[in-house]
Amino acid sequence: MIPSKVKLVDVGPRDGLQNEKQVVPTEVKIELIHRLQNAGLTEIETTSFVSPKWVPQMKDNVLVLAGIERKAGVRYAALVPNMKGLEALLDMPVQLRPQEIVVFFAATESFSQKNTNCSIAESLERIAPVVAGARAAGLYVRGTVSCALGCPYEGEVDPAVVGRIAKAQRDMGVQHMGVPDTIGVGTPRKVQAVFEQVLKSFELTDVSGHFHDTYGQALANTLAALELGVATFDASIAGLGGCPYAKGATGNVATEDVVYMLHGMGIETGIDLNALIDAGQFISEQLGRPTNSRAAKALMTKRLSA
Ligand code: HMG
Ligand code: MG
């Protein structure tokens, strides 16, 4: 049942950097994306078209997208919260647009208000025309339900609630459903219970895991999802990130750590771990702090002592 091939989506340039307090120059973001695609990543979440008042770090979205040297076979994605975001994205020439957008909802009312300033019902109404507009423009639409494994404000989340929000997204035309553990509180059996609900309305090939590592559970949660046959995962280079609306949440699991685990299990990713580690070193140096990837730290030490 465990897939022999897994696709990883690096969300570092968006989910990772969105939380960064220091201004990260546009050229650094572009260089990071180049390094990720050269390491073999075939899907990269590049930026977001959210309000710059809410997330100033992503305000260079158009410049980042325009600056990327496109690589054949790579799908570039951007997060979009509303029609204004979609319009800005569609104002770009077709060849500079991402091929994919990510729309996001929350599993709890409190998180929905904090993250998008509206209720869950309002967000469904707000996003429906975004999905329709994106599909009409030929974009692939991924959806997600923040706090699917637990909420910083409301605690436990009922997997059935996540299943219902996933179904509402399917009904509006969303093509892929991510299961994020926004604050990293989930544990393996709970992860499986949530996927079982989401799989009522999405095919196994159209779901993914998005695990933050706050409680050190992300690799165990990845394995739990792999056991169900899930074959796509988001991860963040050097474990960058956190969520500006989820205090204390750390970054996504480091892409390097997931690749190390998958390759060790004989699972193909198409990613060159050494090149990936170099990409992680590049961004860690730019940010002036050590990587959060355990595998990268260990392999860097080995490199230095070789
Ligand atoms: P709002 O303040 O309610 O929006 O924010 P509004 O429609 O009232 O507009 C207020 C101002 O923002 C106006 O400007 C708009 O033009 C502007 P003003 O008239 O005051 O000058 N505005 C925009 N500007 C640029 N692009 C836009 C846009 N929209 C409005 N798209 C809104 C509502 C949804 C926009 C806001 O709450 C927002 O941007 N939220 C995004 C927050 C965010 O990015 N969070 C992190 C991403 S989610 C995440 O990380 C989780 C995930 O990784 C999965 C997981 O781990 O859970 C996906
Ligand atoms: Mg996230």
Residue 113 lies in a domain: yes
Q: What is the distance between the alpha carbons of residues 4 and 1, in angstroms, rounded to a whole number?
A: 9
Any atom of ligand 1 within 6 Å of the Cβ of 48: yes
Q: Which amino acid is at 163?
A: G
pLDDT (0 to 100) of residue 242: 66
pTM: 0.97
Residue 219 lies in a domain: yes
Domain count, the chain: 1
Q: In tens digits, what is the pLDDT along the chain, a chain of 306 residues?
A: 899 999 999 999 999 999 898 999 999 999 999 999 999 999 999 999 999 999 999 999 999 999 999 999 999 999 999 999 999 999 999 999 999 999 999 999 999 999 999 999 999 999 999 999 999 999 999 999 999 999 999 999 999 999 999 999 999 999 999 999 999 999 999 999 999 999 999 999 999 999 999 999 999 999 999 999 999 999 999 999 866 666 777 889 999 999 999 999 999 999 999 999 999 999 999 999 999 999 999 999 999 998
Q: Whose CA is nearest to atom 32 of ligand 1?
A: 116
Q: What's 175's domain CATH number?
A: 3.20.20.70
Any atom of ligand 1 within 6 Å of the Cβ of 211: no
Question: Which uninterrupted H or E stretch holds 175?
Answer: none
Residue to probe by mutation, ligand 1, list 11, 17, 50, 83, most atoms within 8 Å of CB: 50
Any atom of ligand 1 within 6 Å of the Cβ of 117: yes
Token pair 């060790």 is at which residue?
A: 264
Angle subtended by helix axes 218-227 and 188-198, to nearest 10: 50
- Ligand having the closest approach to the CA of 235: 2
Residue 34 lies in a domain: yes
Residue 2 lies in a domain: no
Q: Of 94, 19, 18, 20, whose CA–CA distance to 61 is shortest? A: 18
Residue 166 lies in a domain: yes
Burial of 45 (0-12, 13-18, 19+ CB in 10 A): buried
Residue 268 lies in a domain: yes
Q: Pull the structure tokens for residue 257.
A: 């750590």
Q: Distance of CA 265 to CAs 26, 150, 260, 270, 299, Å? A: 36, 29, 9, 14, 18
Going from the Cα of 212 to the center of ligand 2, the distance in angstroms, rounded, reads: 7
> Which residues touch 227 (CB under 8 Å, ≥6 apart)?
1, 2, 192
Residue 17 lies in a domain: yes
Q: What is the distance between the alpha carbons of residues 132 and 147, in angstroms, rounded to a whole number?
A: 25
Q: What is the distance between the alpha carbons of residues 141 and 76, in angstroms, rounded to a whole number?
A: 12
Let me know: does 176 contact 135? Beta carbons within 8 Å: no
Q: Whose CA is nearest to atom 13 of ligand 1?
A: 51
Going from the Cα of 141 to the center of ligand 2, the distance in angstroms, rounded, reads: 17
Residues annotated as catalytic (active site), given as ranges: 243
Any atom of ligand 1 within 6 Å of the Cβ of 61: no
Number of helices and strands in the chain (H, E)? 11, 8
Any atom of ligand 1 within 6 Å of the Cβ of 54: yes
Residue 1 lies in a domain: no
Going from the Cα of 216 to the center of ligand 2, the distance in angstroms, rounded, reads: 15
Residues of the domain holding 268:
7-305
